[in-house]
Structure 1
């Protein structure tokens, strides 16, 4: 028999609201007894987010969160489970992490996992934002709030707090109360404080991600036709205009029968927008990207590369290449390891990206980069950089702006900016490390925490060592 929650979800005119209501009920319960823990028992940590979605940036930062926590708390002191869209997690990135598949009615799955854990850590960079999915934000706010109300550690690690719809702002304010928001930039600190949340100034964890060796990237590029000499220009396209995804159970049922709607299917019962105005704006955006890409290729005699940082970017990659007279090499999430994609980015002489973590991934090599902003994240990342490093994705003259900005970039200035930014991010990671140990130490004073004799972050990847030298 179907549960009352599933029936209301399937029949509702606003399925997102039903999911949020049930997640809130789970979060705000006052009678939930915390999962018992004996002294010396490993802490069961629930990683809250959307693992298994094929998003390179999400996998970079989440794998670093797991690595950092094992190092900071002791590998034998923590055991991890992750809310996931799939049954399998990449073993190279998440060794020993149990996948909790979000199948069935999400709130029921989440409630069952919350009952088993001693702590919740929200892993998504876009932690509290309306850009991509209200349900994703509700999921993280709800799980954090449930842990906080049980007086367990509840931490958003390296979080972005951005623009929220009025109902989602009220939801986060009510449900995430008591959680500690370790924010990755000052703007997010201020937004979190305005929501009445505890804050700590931190960093995005992807900065310390170790890519594959440079020779691996050069091998992939050579197989794609690179001669080993020509400069490399990389574009990382997205469709900025088909977000947020929303739950559409009726559309999902119809797709199962007829296949209709598959082109905008995100995953599970969630679908991208099919708004005609958004589609028209996307068409203009892709034409502008193709124009700029071709002009840069000709002017620099460059080898063009397209990287899909998320599996949902496959269509944008194909649409961009279809408009380029000589095509381009393409490397996509799901077809290449995360480490290989980041290593390829770090071979570039110029990166133009609407994906936040493509810019983060490229910076340790000192590669000049231009961000295309469709929300506040890229602007926050490029704050303090020379003008023109962050361009509005919907600018009517975007191609001209990209070409002009690329012409102004001074590699020495870019490298100096990257050095300063990475140094500041490492300081933020150190603050998060001390904050994490303090939060877990209060909950489990019996933990024997390891000495951090080589600093809170540990040995740095070679690319970061070189740029800081």
Structure 2
């Protein structure tokens, strides 16, 4: 098999890549995944032509069809929750496999997602089909999953990471496959014309008399994750059988404390700075926390929820770019708002947002690590309040910093398709 693999790679120039698999977190009503998938489809069609046959597997066909149109050149393929056999059969029919999920090499959300990407990589390797991880991230991994990543990711022909930090983490684990770093595909995402003024339209439908500015909060319940595999469990904790959210009395209490602190900060911003609050759900799964925050607010009439369950990626991106300030626990909220130089503060619970902020050198100024130790939580929220006040009162320096960061990230993001084209047709040394 190794000889066959090398032979295939030696003849890459003459290979015709007519069928491409896009393996990711597709169909989850997740704004980040939506923007990435749309941007990656454009990249592939730029490199391989409009007639390339694309296959997109999904656990939720209905959601995926909200933003991806199936036609003679693009096929949506439903797969079961226990996906091993189905993915193996799908991979067999491809000329090229791309791993397109940003949260590729991490088990923060669930080991099952990580295993799906590693299994796809193994299937491609065994079939002698090139496999590329396309602008992906790495993060926290259990000891067992580090072993799996080291073993299976080495079978990837090229890994393109979206931060240098992600590249370094994979190298530290022991991954020897070629790895280059660029920036996330969503930096080149273009919104649709009809999405212009989305925030004004959404807000005015409920609050026609309001004229104050807007502060956005892109929230995520850290205490739901990871999703775990169980044969049965409480229906309220079911993600999609056999996957259940991690819930316990302690986790529920911490979730309640999280919503309470968000609500308190939202009310403080309304009272001190006379701003409206937009609670942004970058994934539909964030809605329960968003609803809880709004319900806990004293000034709930000054808040509105904007969710990926209702609005598409273009609309949410336009909302993000219309803010005066963004407080975000979601990676792609930070990414998508940068084009408008929106000042932002990150509250991170994993390595993705931290990695982005480290790459663009704003980690010390604008990033807050959310602690595992519950006794330190109050300190974090006091620190956040201080940063919020500073940015609302004096945003100029940070806006300029974000503007420069965005320009650099767009340049790096454009390298994604350059590396893809180089690997497929020129096959020069891609290491940097």
TM-score, scaled to structure 1: 0.80
Structure 1 residue aligned with 2:417: 433
Pair 1:386–1:275, CA change in 2 (3 A): closer
Match of 1:188 in 2: 166
Which of 248, 251, 256 is residue 283 of structure 1 equivalent to?
256
CA distance in 1, matches of 2:363, 2:224: 30
**1:397 aligned to 2:371?**
no
Match of 2:89 in 1: 112
Please point out which of 184, 188, 203 is paired with 2:183.
203
TM-fit CA distance, 1:387: 3.6
The unaligned stretches of length 5 or more in structure 2 are: 372-376, 428-432
For the pair 1:81 / 2:81, whether they are aligned, the reply is no
Equivalent position of 1:370 in the other structure: 345
TM-superposed CA distance for 1:352, in Å, is 1.1
- The residue number in structure 1 matching 2:374 is none
Q: What is the 5 A alignment of 1:267-346?
A: 267-327=240-300, 328-346=303-321
Q: Deviations over 1:146-185 (max 9, x none)?
A: 3234443211111111121111111111122231110011
Is contact 1:245-1:273 (8 Å) kept?
Answer: yes
Instruction: Report how far residue 132 of structure 1 moved.
Output: 0.6
1:288 Cα deviation from its structure 2 partner: 1.1
- Aligned-partner Cα distance in 1 for 2:355–2:81: 37
Instruction: Assess if the C-alpha contact under 8 Å between 1:243 and 1:273 holds in 2.
Output: yes
- Residue 357 of structure 1 deviates from its aligned partner by 0.8
Q: Is the contact made by 1:83 and 1:100 (CA closer than 8 Å) also made in structure 2? A: yes
SS in structure 2 at match of 1:135: helix
Alpha carbons of structure 1 residues 55 and 133: separation in structure 2 relative to 1, 3 Å: same
* Change in CA separation of 1:94 and 1:157 when aligned onto 2, cut-off 3 Å: farther
Mark the CA change 1:58 to 1:348 in structure 2 (over 3 Å): closer, same or farther. Answer: same
1: distance between equivalents of 2:35 and 2:99?
14
The 1:44/1:415 distance shift into structure 2, 3 A limit, reads: same
| Structure 1 residues 321 and 407: CA distance shift in structure 2, 3 A | same
Distance verdict in 2 for CA 1:268–1:211, change over 3 Å: farther
Q: SS at the partner of 1:190? A: helix
Matched, 1:249 2:231: yes
> Which whole-Å CA distance do the structure 2 matches of 1:114 and 1:372 have between them?
38
Instruction: Tell whether the 8 Å contact from 2:270 to 2:299 is kept in structure 1 after alignment.
Output: no
* Alignment match, 1:173: 150
Q: Which of the residues 147, 151, 161 maps onto 2:124?
A: 147
Determine if the alignment matches structure 1 residue 134 to structure 2 residue 111: yes
Q: Distance in 1 between matches of 2:329 and 2:81?
A: 33
Q: Distance in 2 between matches of 1:282 and 1:104?
A: 27
Contact conserved, 1:231 with 1:300, CA < 8 A, in 2?
A: no
1:19-34 to 2 correspondences below 5 Å: none
Question: Is contact 2:17-2:96 (8 Å) kept?
Answer: no
2:398 pairs, out of 414, 418, 422, with 414
Secondary structure (helix, strand or coil) at the match of 1:277 reads: helix
Structure 2 counterpart of 1:350, from 325, 344, 365: 325
Q: For this pair of structures, how many residues does the alignment match?
A: 402
Q: 1:121 aligns with which of 83, 92, 98?
A: 98
SS at match of 1:280: helix
Contact 1:121 1:144 survives alignment (8 Å): no
Match of 1:255 in 2: none
Change (3 A) 1:208 1:226: farther
The CA RMSD measured in Å over matched residues stands at: 2.5
The answer to whether the 8 A contact 1:60-1:209 is kept is yes
Change (3 A) 1:297 1:160: same
Distance in 2, Cα, partners of 1:122 & 1:309: 21
Question: Secondary structure at the residue paired with 2:232?
Answer: helix
Structure 1 residues 95 and 209, CA, compared in 2 at 3 Å: closer, same or farther? farther
Which one of 220, 230, 235 corresponds to residue 262 of structure 1?
A: 235
What secondary structure does 1:54 align onto?
Answer: coil
Distance apart, 1:104 and its partner CA: 5.7
**In 1: Cα distance, 2:291 partner to 2:236 partner:** 13
Closer, same or farther: CA 41–146 of 1 in aligned 2, 3 Å:
same
2: distance between equivalents of 1:417 and 1:386?
Answer: 12
